[in-house]
Structure 1
Amino acid sequence: MAQKKSPTKKAPPKKGGATKKTKKKPQNGKNVLVKLAVAIILVIAAAGAVAYMANRYAPALEEAAQSQAAKTGAKAPRPAEPPKPAAAKPQPAPAAPVEKAPIKKPVYEIFDDKHIEEIPDHEPEVPEEPPVELADDRPRVAIIIDDMGYGNGIQHKFLDLPYVITYSILPHSPDQIEIANLAHDKGRQVLLHLPMEPMQYPEVDPGPGTLLASMTTDTMMDILKEDLAAVPYIAGVNNHMGSRLTMESGALYPIFTVLKKQGLFFVDSRTTRHSVCRPSARLFQLPFAQRDVFLDHVRTEAFVEKQLKLLVSVAKKRGQAIGIGHPYKVTYKVLAARLPAVDAEVRLVPASDLVRVIK
């Protein structure tokens, strides 16, 4: 038979005291501190992540908001701006006296030694005109006074001369309407004194409304139409300066086309011996004439008297002649004194009487 194991007996406690159980010390204080530190670190990291994301995506979000506002018609919220420091209120400066800008007077035709090409030393050779049938025996003379329209006082004296004189007025000049009205009321003929580019441009500027050889045709036509509309009662046109432009047939063609359509004539002032205005006018069958004598490119009484005699002489030789002067005091003085004698030798007529279509 198997023997039963006897139960193991516990050893008796040692003498000297009862047996003590070992107890663990509580860890609750340390765990709380660790958890708190971890939480703080996580909060700091989350705040940093939020700040980073805000800085990175704020422009895109703002742009999206503005785009959405544009679609819906609502106003996008504007980002807050930091307050600006209050600026010191500026003290008003003392008001300066207002002065009116002086009226710029025109540069007249260039007749001095520096720009000699503007006028030949001698009168240009022109083709002989066919005999003109006259209503009487006297040759016909047209005197044109250029550069009218600027208030210098003397132009009104020219208008008071009791003789047939043609007045050519610069476009966009301060007195253009007044002078045109006065001339028209006195039964005098009015021309547009059309500014054209001289050889010395831009050192020499013909003034407002100038036509330049470098312009496109469209630009030139726009300016030309403005010039033509600026001066009332015009019967025709003559050039102001223009030693450069009147050498360019390509520039003259569109100008003459407009003049013909508007029923105007053209008088070539002949500021250069190389002008091609005559053949261009012939091509377009535009009523045309050209200057024979300049009266006052030297401003002395003796010279103007000599030129006036030359004008009469040319008229007697050819049956007609055109003289061009300017609103100078010396020119007025000579005309006022000499026109009675001139009117006895020749018949003073408006410029339109001496233009014709060249065959």
Structure 2
Amino acid sequence: MANDLTTPLTGRKRKSGSRPHLPIARTLFALLALLAIAFVLRLVLTDDPNGGRPSEEVAITSTRNSNEIANEVATGPVTITADPQQFPAGSSMTAVPSGTTGANSITGLPDIFGALPDLSEETSDGPIPRVSSTGLTPFAAYSRPAGEAVASGLPMVAVIVTGLGINEQGSLDAIDQLPDAVTLAFAPYGKTLVTTVAAARSAGHEVLLEIPLEPFDFPQNDPGPQTLLTGEPPRANLEKLFWLMARFGGYVGVINNMGARFTAAATDFSPIMEELGARGLGYVDDGSSNRSVANQLAAGNKVPFSRADLVIDANPARQSILAALASLEARALENGAAIGIVSALPISVAAIAEWSRELESRGIMLVPASALMK
């Protein structure tokens, strides 16, 4: 025991069965170093831009001029055969006339959506009317001609049908039934206003835009979204007006929907009438309020103006409507002209269509509202 303790460590013998100690860390470090050196040498000594990735050269064949139909269109005339169901044999195409009068008038482009290009101003809400660069106003461009009726010297009657555009089918039925001299007023909330208004103007009707104005019992009685209100900053009401004006195009002017409070407030109404004058639009007062200052404001801003004389279907029954139309005729005979307002109820539309057939034989001319607007 004493000899074992005093024997130097270097002189000890390894016991049998014990494992030799290997420098594992040093060995791994050496291998990693060799791999790194080999990688660097390959990059330096090998000229291979693809980095050893497999590649193959393939000849590219040009496809230019391989489309025979496109080549024929580019180099010469081509005959295109139309679908016989879309364009039946024997039918013909009618050219759209150019100009600025009539329901389908154009200035350079077809008047498909109701607004002539030179009479439109783009806004964030959509195109709104403006006076053209030549001084043509929307009122003059979109009015239905009535020169012969005016020249006849006979008493004149205008009928304005309101509330169109919300019920698409009802609006189209009214367009089909009513004589084309009847003026149609569209509410600004229908989903198919552009196409419905286009149908009305294609049938020869002139159109008005209804704008909702604040009544005395607002909001219990609400004309609808974007109603112009008293007491608001002028800019706020003008922004609402621009939104309303952008709902469709091709209208000669606007007509109020309700608005007894608003039309009596000159401070609030004046900026609106000034804007209508600057944009060349007319204004029709529906005659529902005796306190309206629309007449004075329209005159001061050179806005074509007229006021309705009578609500024809206050009682929506056939006999009552016909009686009101007789009263309208009497006013026209007495004053030379009269304007009636009627809703788009089917019974009202049918009564107007029936009444108008014999009107001229009684010595009275049916004219669009614009003919009676000064």
Question: So what's the TM-score if we normalise by structure 1?
Answer: 0.60
Measured against aligned partners, the alpha-carbon deviations of 1:114-143 in whole angstroms (never above 9, x if no partner) come to xxxxxxxxxxxxxxxxxxx94113211111
Equivalent residue, structure 2, for 1:169: 186
**CA separation in 2, counterparts of 1:309 and 1:163?**
20
Q: Deviations over 1:167-226 (max 9, x none)?
A: 111113223212211111112101111111111210111012211113210100011011
Q: For the residues of structure 1 that align with 2:219 and 2:371, how far apart are their CA atoms?
A: 35
In the superposition, the TM-score normalised over structure 2's length comes to 0.58
Conservation of the 8 A alpha-carbon contact between 2:180 and 2:204? no
- The CA distance in 2 between the partners of 1:186 and 1:278, in whole Å, is 31
2:291 matched residue in structure 1: 274
Q: What residue number does 1:148 align with? A: 164
What does residue 314 of structure 1 align with? 331
Runs of 4+ with deviation above 3 angstroms = none
Partner of 2:353: 336
Counterparts in 2 of 1:36-51, with a 5 A limit? none
Structure 1 residue matching 2:299: 3-state secondary structure = helix
Structure 1 CA distance for aligned equivalents of residues 180 and 254 of structure 2: 21
Hey, what's the Cα distance between the residues in 1 that align with 2:257 and 2:248? 15
Q: Distance in 2 between matches of 1:235 and 1:329?
A: 25
RMSD: 1.5
Query: Which residue identity does 1:347 align to in structure 2?
Result: M
Partner amino acid, structure 2, of 1:143: V
Structure 2, unpaired ranges of 5+: 1-148
Query: Equivalent residues in 2 for 1:7-26 (5 A)?
Result: none
- Determine which of 343, 348, 351 is the counterpart of 2:369: 351
Q: Distance between the aligned counterparts of 1:344 and 1:208, measured in 2?
A: 44
2:228 pairs with one of 195, 199, 211 = 211
Q: Cα gap change, 1:183/1:216 in structure 2, threshold over 3 Å: closer, same or farther? A: same
Q: 1:135 aligns with which of 146, 151, 155?
A: 151
Secondary structure at the counterpart of residue 296 of structure 1:
coil
Structure 1 residues 225 and 323: alpha-carbon distance in aligned structure 2, compared to 1, 3 A threshold: same
Structure-2 separation of matches of 1:318 and 1:231: 34
- Aligned partners of 2:356 and 2:366 also within 8 Å: no
- Structure number with greater Rg is 1
Q: Note closer, same or farther for the CA distance 1:140–1:309 as it changes in structure 2 (3 Å cut).
A: same
Give the distance between the partners of 2:179 and 2:337, measured in 1 at CA.
21
- Measured after TM superposition, the shift of residue 152 of structure 1 is 5.9
**Other structure's SS at 2:184 match:** strand
1:77-121 Cα deviation digits (max 9, x unpaired): xxxxxxxxxxxxxxxxxxxxxxxxxxxxxxxxxxxxxxxxxxxxx
Change (3 A) 1:162 1:282: closer
Identity of aligned residues (%): 29
Check whether the contact 1:171–1:209 (CA below 8 A) recurs between aligned residues: no
- Whichever residue aligns with residue 165 of structure 1, its letter is V
Q: Which residue of 2 aligns with 1:42?
A: none
Question: Amino acid of the residue matched to residue 309 of structure 1?
Answer: A
Cross-structure match for 2:322 = 305
How far is the alpha carbon of 1:285 from its aligned partner? 2.3
Is the 2:179–2:353 Cα contact (8 Å) retained in structure 1? no
Segments of structure 1 that go 5 or more residues without pairing to the other structure are 1-132
Q: What is the total number of aligned residue pairs between the two structures? A: 224
What is the distance in 1 between the residues matched to 2:234 and 2:153?
Answer: 46
